[in-house]
Amino acid sequence: MANYSAMNPGKYHLGVMFDFPPLQNRRLNEDYLIKNVKWKTSAMVGRKIYIGNVEIEDRYNRTHTLSDTVLKSRAGRFDSFTMDRRLDVAVGDGEDVVRLASFADRLLQFKQNTMYVINCTKTQEILESKNKFKGVDHHNAVCETDYGVVWCNEHGIYMYNGRSVNELFITEGVRNVSESTWNAFYKKGETMLGYVASSKQILFYRGVDDADNTTGNVLIYDLVTGSFVQGTDQGNNEDKTNLINDWNNDLLYGYESSANNTLLQKWAVTPTAGIATMDVKTKFFNFENQSRKKIYKVEITYKGGVINDIDYETTNVHPKYSVDSSNSYTGVFRDASGNAITNIPSSSDWSVIELYTSAIDNNNVKSISIQLTEASLGAVRQNFEVNDIAIIYRQKSVK
């Protein structure tokens, strides 16, 4: 049986000729050879891939774990790493590289406690800033967006926009979300975030492990308005994968719907189901002074709820109020006939509901706050919306 080969050059007994050994040619340098590499995190900047927290096998087949090291590929050669293209921003600091992320031509290196911004515009990377207390404890605590990189740790939520690192809990020099709120929400090693591209929001899930039945709680940061809102059980309290953006830019995760069965879930900006837990509290309006007022009524312009269902033509929103900075929202709104309003009726179009305060506590009020919460009948209808709230009051003369 004939044995064949593919031969090159492709003519019989035609060789590539060398009159002399080409000594002027380049030398092969294997001093920095990495035979094999395992990596914990990666990020692409331009046409180079950076991998961090690596375990390498060197040219002598020795294995080294380099938890502080980032290796950079050559441009367009995404599997080639050598020791001469090694970035050690900080070594021996008791921290490991947890996550790499990129924004424009900057590489962000996250360790447990510290975050480094590395400028990759030049051949040699330049450490641009070291940000203490801004590390992350796990890889899913970082998210890349078209506005910058957002991440969170036990101290708060941060964003790098290409110029500076900003703390998102601080707006106009004032912290908005309390430390206790964040501490209650944040779960070390689990809280993950993703980007909702359509609404330009950052979505935080409390956790990924089904051992905790609050891991479906969410926190949303709106990149446009710079504001936070919360949600209870808006995600699944099951084992979850990481978050990704799919072909529609929808934010997805997978969860274990039952043993060994996985379902994908996407985040719907417009709710598709009733909201089991709603708790909206306005500020305590004192109308710019702390003198006494009489509160006559509150008018809410709203729409939503179930239409054409005689038994359930409700929004399932229960309005309440509290006065004078009390945390007890026991104030009962009543209609013009004096009947308590515990469930705002449904309305297909914008409608104004008049909510009268009780005579017993509407006098001599310094401030008032309105609360909207789910009614006892069930979850708030998903199409419920509020346009504005008006408070009708009369200032009392100062005695």
Partner 1 sequence: MPKKEYKILGFHGGLHNNSDAKDIRDIDLQSATGVSVHRVGRLVGIGNNTSTAINYNAFTSDIEPGYGLHYFSTDYNNAETATSEDWLAIYDKANTKVKYWYRDKANDDASPAFSLIETTFGANINPNYYYADGFLRIGDALHGQESKWFGYIDNELFWKDEFGTQNIHNIKEWSTGTQELKSLEVLIGDNIKMVDMSTANPSASDLGDGTTRKLILGYWTTEGGEWNGNYVFGVTPIYEGNQEGPISTIYDNLLNKLETTVPLFNKRVMFQVHIPIGTAATVTADAPHRLGDDRIIGLNWYFKEESEEDWIYLMNTDLKKGGKHYWESYNSATETAYGIWDGKTVTDSGSVVSVTEGVDILEDSTTPATHINFKDNNDGAIGSGDNWIESGTGASTTGKSYHQVYLEVNLNNEQTNGFGTTSVPRKGFLRVWGGANSPLYVGNATESGGGSASIDLLTGIGGTPGTDWDEYFVPMTLPGAGTDREFRVEVLDENFSVIADSGIKTMTIADSGKVAPPEYEQEVEI
Q: Give me 371's structure tokens.
A: 């609360």
How many Cα neighbours within 13 Å face the side chain of 334? 14
Q: Give, in degrees to the nearest 5, the angle at Cα 254 between 192 and 145.
A: 45
Strands 331-332 and 317-323, sheet pairing: antiparallel
Segment contacting partner 1 (CB under 8 A): 109-117, 267-275, 305-313, 353-361? 267-275
Query: Could you give the 3-state DSSP secondary structure of residue 157?
Result: strand
Residues 279-298 that bind partner 1 (CB under 8 A): 279-287, 296
Assess contact for 136 and 127: CB atoms under 8 A: no
If one asks whether residue 399 binds partner 1 (CB under 8 A), the answer comes out as no
Using the minimum distance from each CB to partner 1, give the nearer residue, 117 or 192: 192
Examine residue 166 and tell whether it contacts partner 1 (CB under 8 A). no
CB 376 within 8 A of CB 277: no
Per CB under 8 A, the segment of 51-59, 113-121, 129-137, 152-160 that binds partner 1 is: 51-59
Residues 6 or more apart whose Cβ sits within 8 Å of residue 276: 232, 233, 374, 379, 380
**Which sign does the torsion angle of CA 202, 270, 274, 303 carry?**
positive
Nearer to partner 1, 36 or 330 (CB): 36
Nearest partner of 367 among 393, 346, 344, judged by Cα: 393
Contact 57, 37 (CB under 8 A): yes
Site string for partner 1, 121-140 (x = CB under 8 A): -----------------xxx
26 binds partner 1 (CB under 8 A): yes
The minimum distance between CB 364 and partner 1, in angstroms, equals 14
Pick the closer one to partner 1 by CB: 83 or 268.
Answer: 268
How far is Cα 63 from Cα 55, in angstroms, rounded to an integer? 7
Which of 12, 94, 336, 360 is the binder for partner 1 (CB under 8 A)?
Answer: 12
- CA–CA separation, 321 and 282 (whole Å): 9
Among 325, 330, 339, 348, binds partner 1 (CB under 8 A): 325
Residues between 175 and 194 with contacts to partner 1, criterion CB under 8 A: 175-179, 181, 190, 192
Minimum CB–partner distance for residue 342 and partner 1 (Å):
17
Distance CA 259, CA 30 (A): 49
* Phi, psi (rounded to 5 degrees) for 65: -100, 120
Please identify which residue in 91, 127, 273, 352 interacts with partner 1, judged by CB under 8 A.
273
Site for partner 1 in 332-391 (CB under 8 A): 367, 369, 371-372, 374, 380-391
Q: Is 254 in the site for partner 1 (CB under 8 A)?
A: yes
Out of 80, 129, 166, 351, the residue judged to bind partner 1 by CB under 8 A: 80
Residue 104 or 244 with smaller CB distance to partner 1: 244
Dihedral of the CA atoms 108, 112, 114, 116 (nearest 10)? Answer: -20
Q: Looking at 117-125, 150-158, 277-285, 305-313, which segment touches partner 1 (CB under 8 A)? A: 277-285
Size of the site for partner 1 (CB under 8 A): 156
Region of 83-91, 117-125, 151-159, 196-204 interacting with partner 1 (CB under 8 A): 196-204
- Is residue 61 part of the contact set for partner 1 (CB under 8 A)? no
Among 32, 36, 104, 309, which residue interacts with partner 1 (rule: CB under 8 A)? 36
- Note whether 60 binds partner 1 by CB under 8 A: no
Whether the link from the prior residue into 21 is cis, omega within 30° of 0, is no
Q: Could you give the CA distance from residue 37 to residue 39 in angstroms, rounded to a whole number?
A: 6
Q: Cβ(189)–Cβ(137) under 8 Å?
A: yes
Instruction: Draw the binding track, 201-240, toward partner 1 (x: CB under 8 A; -: no contact).
Output: x------xxx-----x-x-x-x-xxxxxxxxx-xxx--xx
